[in-house]
Amino acid sequence: MAIARSKTGISGLDEMLGGGVPDHHHVLVCGGPGSGKTLFSMEYLYRGAKEGDKGVFISLEEDPERIIENTKATFSKLTDIDQLVKDKKLFIIKPDKYDFKNFSDILQSYITQHKVKRAVIDSSTILKLSFANSLEFRRTLVDFLSFIRNLDCTTLMTAELENPARGKIKFSVEQFVADGVIILYNIEKGEKRVRALEILKMRGTEHSQDLVPIKITPSGLKVFIGEKIY
């Protein structure tokens, strides 16, 4: 039986995922600084909103206005972002980052009240600050994911990698409990850096395991499936 999927709309990525992210999955998007996690997530929501799936971006650190401005500046050909926000198809919000209950209240409101189908949480690194220790974070994260899975929403959560070099990544609790993990890299190649992506895991579906180059263009991210970095 075919599984229901949430198409990312990101060029090349849905093919790597076998058609899209399985519905109601919780996917971690991790990477080092400047690897494109926020842009990736914003495009996921943008593409969804264009197809009728309302989305909410919950930022725990950066101001919503800045996120919109950066997205518009980078994806300059996506000219209707403001309109989607105005039409309440795309929400960008910043709750109290030290209050996990408030964060849960807000996400729950958007899903049940505003019927959002896609949510992005930026980032798990900041969310951890709400907790006294990693055990408490792990317990709550497992409960939180269990709660999210019962709601009609597919979620992405960004996570900063302390050591973003491939092969040296130290995985933490978020990677283990998530349904899917996508890693964004900024790899040294000679004197330049090349952006790349790999799907580390995605439960319940076949997916490409290749490390592929990606590019940030004015019309969105482009994943070059079939191409190699080296």
Does 57 help bind other proteins (rule: CB under 8 A)? no
The residue range among 6-14, 92-100, 119-127, 157-165 that interacts with other proteins, by the rule CB under 8 A, is: 92-100
204 C-beta neighbours (distance < 10 Å), count: 14
Phi, psi of 38, deg, nearest 5: -70, -40
Q: Which is nearer to other proteins, 18 or 64 (CB)?
A: 64
Does 113 help bind other proteins (rule: CB under 8 A)? yes
Residue choice 64, 173, 204, 205 for contact with other proteins (CB under 8 A): 64
Residue choice 76, 83, 134, 146 for contact with other proteins (CB under 8 A): 146
* SS3 assignment for 104-157: HHHHHHHHHCCCCCEEEEECHHHHHHHCCCHHHHHHHHHHHHHHHHHCCCEEEE
Residue choice 99, 152, 162, 227 for contact with other proteins (CB under 8 A): 99
Q: Which is nearer to other proteins, 147 or 171 (CB)?
A: 147
Does 140 help bind other proteins (rule: CB under 8 A)? yes
Rounded CA-CA distance 131/170 in Å is 20
SS3 content of the chain, % helix, strand, coil (to 5): 35, 25, 40
Does 104 help bind other proteins (rule: CB under 8 A)? yes
The residue range among 21-29, 69-77, 88-96, 219-227 that interacts with other proteins, by the rule CB under 8 A, is: 88-96
CA 96 to chain centre: 20
Q: Taking the CA of residue 9 as centre, how many other CA atoms within 13 Å lie in the half-sphere pointing to its CB?
A: 17
Cα–Cα nearest to 154, from 228, 196, 195, 204: 204
Phi, psi of 167, deg, nearest 5: 90, -15
Count of residues in contact with other proteins, rule CB under 8 A: 23
The residue range among 27-35, 38-46, 47-55, 93-101 that interacts with other proteins, by the rule CB under 8 A, is: 93-101
Residues forming contacts to other proteins in the complex (CB under 8 A) are: 64, 91, 93-96, 99, 101-102, 104-106, 108-110, 112-114, 140, 143-144, 146-147
